[in-house]
Amino acid sequence: MTGNFTEISENPFVVKMDEVRELSYDSFHDKIKEMLDGGSVHCVAYYGIEDSKGIRLICSVADDIRHNICTLSTLVPKEPGIVKSLTTACPPLHIYEREINENFGIVFDDHPWLKPVRYPHDRKNKLAVMDNYPFYGIESEELHEVGVGPVHAGVIEPGHFRFICNGEKVLHLEIQLGYQHRGVEKLLAESSNSLKRAVICENIAGDSAVAHSIAHAQLIESLGGIETMPDLWIERCIGLELERIAVHIGDTAALCGDVAYQLGQVVCEALRTEIINTTQFWCGNRFGKGLVRPGGTNYSLSKETADKIITVTDIVGKRFAEITDRIYSLPSVLARFEDIGQVTSEQALTIGAVGMAARTCGISRDIRNSHPFQYYRQYDVSPVVLDSGDVLARGMLRVREVEQSVRIIRDLTDRWFKEKKYGRKPVYDYKLKPGSFSLSMVEGWRGEICHSAVTDENGSIVHYKVKDPSFHNWMALALAVRNQEISDFPVCNKSFNLSYCGHDL
Amino acid sequence: MLKEIKILKHHGKQYVKNLRNQPVSGLFRGRPEISDNLTGHEIENLFSLCPSGAIGSSDGSIDMGKCVFCRECSFLLPDKIKFTSDFRIAVNRREDLVIKPGVSSPVRIDESGIRKEIRKIYRKSLKLRQVSAGGDNSCEMELNATGNVNFDFGRYGVEFVASPRHADGIVITGPVTENMAKALQLTYEAVPEPKIIILAGTDAISGGMFSNSEAVSRKFIEEHHIDLFVPGNPAHPLTFINGVMDLLGIR
């Protein structure tokens, strides 16, 4: 297998662009098809970069068992720009091919449906607009369609859901996104101000501010050859686990709210407040914005903060265990969660689900374990895996992961006390390696976040790619509600809690 | 039942009694204070450092409507710029968000600029429809939090409702993306008159980090009268709550 691609076992990593093997499209196609054969391998990045010769496609495939990442590339000339699709052989690539088609106009010949992904402002076909999205339709007098959004009943982000129903039963759900598109990737590539890039990254998705910031910081550190120290690695991991705890508890509150179990809702809301206020105590922002910067941090952990984090997470962990024990033993709650919104393991593999959507379908996919970053290199995390794939599994996964994260925080804080404190400050004045390709992955609470950048011969970033786990997982929600009552949509939706802005960027 | 009583006992009383004077942690980044002896060189440095263009190039003032509260300017000049924990920073006049060097007095709403009907009609009940137009979900979560068990803004009759037709106004978050511009316009039109507009978060007030993006369209904001600007990244629930209380004249 060697010789055809660049194989690396680091996360993040950086390679010279000319070391990334360039294959003819046919060999590229066959190689990826061969690599993606098997459940423990998945594609983490596949995107195009435009240059004078055509569109260069770069694809990175991660192997969960061999713990490596293989990268290969190909060049597709702009004319005629038609190549054969990989989607039929490797369905998880459907969304990447749609994205490449939308951005550059490359046609993947036998792709089942090259629908728009997010209507970016720099899309190839300007005639495609939000209003003429090609919805799937079924002609029948028996069926009706229900449209929801983009503005939803709750205080949440916009997206349009189109259900095709037979009576109360959902036959098909199509999710149209793109309303949140802010041009993040273009701003990141165009910006020469390094602080600006870091701040944009923490605003990609507010509920994953820490995760996206770590992904960006370690990408820059690897591209810039900036050395970081163990005390910082631990602090970043603590920040990431606090974020995971806060969101999981908040989502449990939302799930309770949807099934009218008010005690569960208010108790979890209050517990989430305790956690995010602790993050604020640490860095002045309830979402951890400002905590993570390339090279170091302005908010090194102090003994006082470390003690507070341990105390709060310990109490919150216990009280969350107490309330969830009650929530998940109530027949009225279980009746709404059990066997509802099921995604099978086969479906999850087919669509390339990542993170908690995958782990609730029996797939052990966790970057902290398979491609460890920051302090997880020295600290083993065994993924929590459940296999029923229903709303209950996604609820219970949150319970188990909060329990695990509380334990991780306690262990990591213990180690932090023993580590030498370098307390390094952020580095904004850096020079990036020229002509390089770099990729960085982080397991946020939703799943794997992947940032990738390409630099030119002067070391300026010419292309920056961000992939949020929602990019894959929205399809899981669409599949989950099939053959369900339409009234179960809210609990299905909340159980995933996917990101609109992370998808639309 | 016994288990639930035990849970309730552990839960205790969570609500914030006085929404005006709730202490927040000392590191909270609220209203900035800038020393009045900034040198020209320092202003230049601050101007080039600021990621969102919030620092005035001539005098070193900070525009809270553009500021993302990253506090980097204060790390650069810790003796001359500090961010206080004053969260009461929402105003109804855009220019009042600009903090000049040497000014340490709190920012307050301009009573004379409030439309007459607002206090007359909404003093005891204000129902709002939220529209996220490119918000990163942190502002949305903070707005949700205003109604939660801790902040319980519902105690003053201020709540978020499901339909614009049930609402007295809209709260916009996010820089207003091109793709969301039409939906925002339609939502606003669906709200019955008289209606108010509140901008929550730096992104909504100025576009924030996305103000230069081609994917953003500020037309709606420029064409409408804004009744309240609530700065922050995201706007803290207490900033929003105090701003609305000031607007409605609730003490």
Question: Residue A343 pLDDT > 90, yes or no?
Answer: yes
Q: Do B132 and A289 touch (CB under 8 A)?
A: no
Q: Do A155 and B130 touch (CB under 8 A)?
A: yes
Q: What is the pLDDT of residue A1?
A: 41
Confidence band for A256, pLDDT divided at 50, 70 and 90: very high
Q: What is the pLDDT of residue A53?
A: 87
Please indicate if any CB of chain B lies within 8 Å of the CB of A204. Answer: yes
**pLDDT by 10s per residue, chain B, length 251:** 788 898 888 888 888 889 998 888 879 999 999 998 989 999 999 999 999 999 988 899 999 999 999 999 999 999 999 999 999 999 999 999 999 999 999 999 999 999 999 999 999 999 999 999 998 999 999 999 999 989 999 999 999 999 999 999 999 999 999 999 999 999 999 999 999 999 999 999 999 999 999 999 999 999 999 999 999 999 999 999 999 999 999 98
Test mutation, B16, B72, B136, B173, chain A, max A CBs within 10 A: B136
Give the tokens for residue B130.
């939220």
- Kindly tell me the number of DSSP H helices and DSSP E strands found in chain A: 16, 14
Q: What is the pLDDT of residue A363?
A: 92
Distance from CA of B44 to the nearest CA of A (A): 15
Show Cβ contacts of residue B37 under 8 Å, excluding neighbours closer than 6 positions. B80
For a pLDDT cut of 90, what percent of chain A falls above it? 83
**Structural domains in chain A plus CATH codes:** 6-117 (3.30.460.80), 208-466 (1.10.645.10)
> What is the spatial distance between Cα A93 and Cα A32, in angstroms, rounded to a whole number?
10
Q: What is the pLDDT of residues A140-194, one digit of tens each?
A: 889 999 999 899 888 899 999 999 999 999 999 999 999 999 999 999 999 888 9
Q: What is the pLDDT of residue A65?
A: 86
Average pLDDT taken over every residue of chain A: 92
E strand segments, B107-239: 126-132, 158-160, 169-173, 196-200, 228-230
Q: What is the pLDDT of residue A335?
A: 94
Q: What is the pLDDT of residue A66?
A: 86
Distance from CA of B102 to the nearest CA of A (A): 24
Contacts made by residues B49-52, CB under 8 angstroms, sequence distance 24+: B49/A195, B49/B73, B49/B76, B51/A193, B51/A195, B51/A196, B51/A198, B51/A199, B51/B209, B52/A196, B52/A199, B52/B202, B52/B206, B52/B208, B52/B209, B52/B211
Closest-CA residue of chain B to A318: B10
Question: Residue A38 pLDDT > 80, yes or no?
Answer: no
Confidence band for A423, pLDDT divided at 50, 70 and 90: confident
A186 sits in which H/E element: helix A184-190
Please indicate if any CB of chain B lies within 8 Å of the CB of A81. Answer: no
Q: Do A151 and B183 touch (CB under 8 A)?
A: yes
Q: What is the pLDDT of residues A118-136, one digit of tens each?
A: 999 999 888 888 888 999 9
3-state secondary structure of A241: helix
**Which of B72, B175, B234 is nearest residue A206 as measured by Cβ atoms?**
B234
Q: Which residues pair with A23 in a beta bridge?
A: A74
Distance from CA of B112 to the nearest CA of A (A): 31
- Touching A: B residues 136-195, CB under 8 Å: 136-145, 148-150, 160, 162-164, 174-175, 177-180, 182-183, 187
**Which of B29, B144, B148 is nearest residue A284 as measured by Cβ atoms?**
B29
What is the CB neighbour count within 10 angstroms for residue B155? 10
Q: What is the pLDDT of residue A3?
A: 57
* Among A146, A137, A139, A138, CA closest to A167: A146
Closest-CA residue of chain B to A120: B215
Report the pLDDT averaged over residues A309-336.
95
Q: Do A199 and B52 touch (CB under 8 A)?
A: yes
* Among A340, A314, A182, CA closest to A259: A340
Q: What is the pLDDT of residue A4?
A: 63
**Which of B4, B72, B134 is nearest residue A195 as measured by Cβ atoms?**
B72
> What is the spatial distance between Cα A210 and Cα A286, in angstroms, rounded to a whole number?
11
Compute the half-sphere exposure of residue A141: CA atoms within 13 Å on the CB side of its CA.
Answer: 0
Q: What is the pLDDT of residues B130-154, one digit of tens each?
A: 999 998 999 999 999 999 989 999 9
Q: What is the pLDDT of residues A60-104, one digit of tens each?
A: 999 988 889 999 999 998 888 889 999 988 999 999 999 999 999
> Which residues of A are less than 8 Å from B72 in CB distance?
195, 298
Report the pLDDT averaged over residues A32-37.
89
Report the pLDDT averaged over residues A306-323.
95
Report the pLDDT averaged over residues A400-406.
96
Q: What is the pLDDT of residue B239?
A: 95
Closest-CA residue of chain B to A202: B136
Distance from CA of B185 to the nearest CA of A (A): 11
> Which residues of B are less than 8 Å from A203 in CB distance?
68, 136, 203, 208-209, 233
Note whether A312 and A278 are within 8 A (CB): yes
* Among A59, A178, A91, A99, CA closest to A452: A59
> What is the spatial distance between Cα A87 and Cα A112, in angstroms, rounded to a whole number?
8
Q: Do B180 and A150 touch (CB under 8 A)?
A: yes
Please indicate if any CB of chain A lies within 8 Å of the CB of B203. Answer: yes
3-state secondary structure of A46: strand
Show Cβ contacts of residue B48 under 8 Å, excluding neighbours closer than 6 positions. none
The bridge status of strand B126-132 relative to strand B169-173 is parallel
**Which of B10, B132, B145 is nearest residue A157 as measured by Cβ atoms?**
B132
Q: What is the pLDDT of residue A268?
A: 95
Q: What is the pLDDT of residue A193?
A: 87
Residue indicated by tokens 């939706």 = A493
**Structural domains in chain B plus CATH codes:** 32-99 (3.30.70.3270), 111-248 (3.40.50.12280)
Report the pLDDT averaged over residues A237-254.
96
Q: Do B160 and A181 touch (CB under 8 A)?
A: no
What is the CB neighbour count within 10 angstroms for residue B166? 14
Distance from CA of A154 to the nearest CA of B (A): 6
Q: Do B143 and A155 touch (CB under 8 A)?
A: yes
- Touching A: B residues 101-140, CB under 8 Å: 129-140
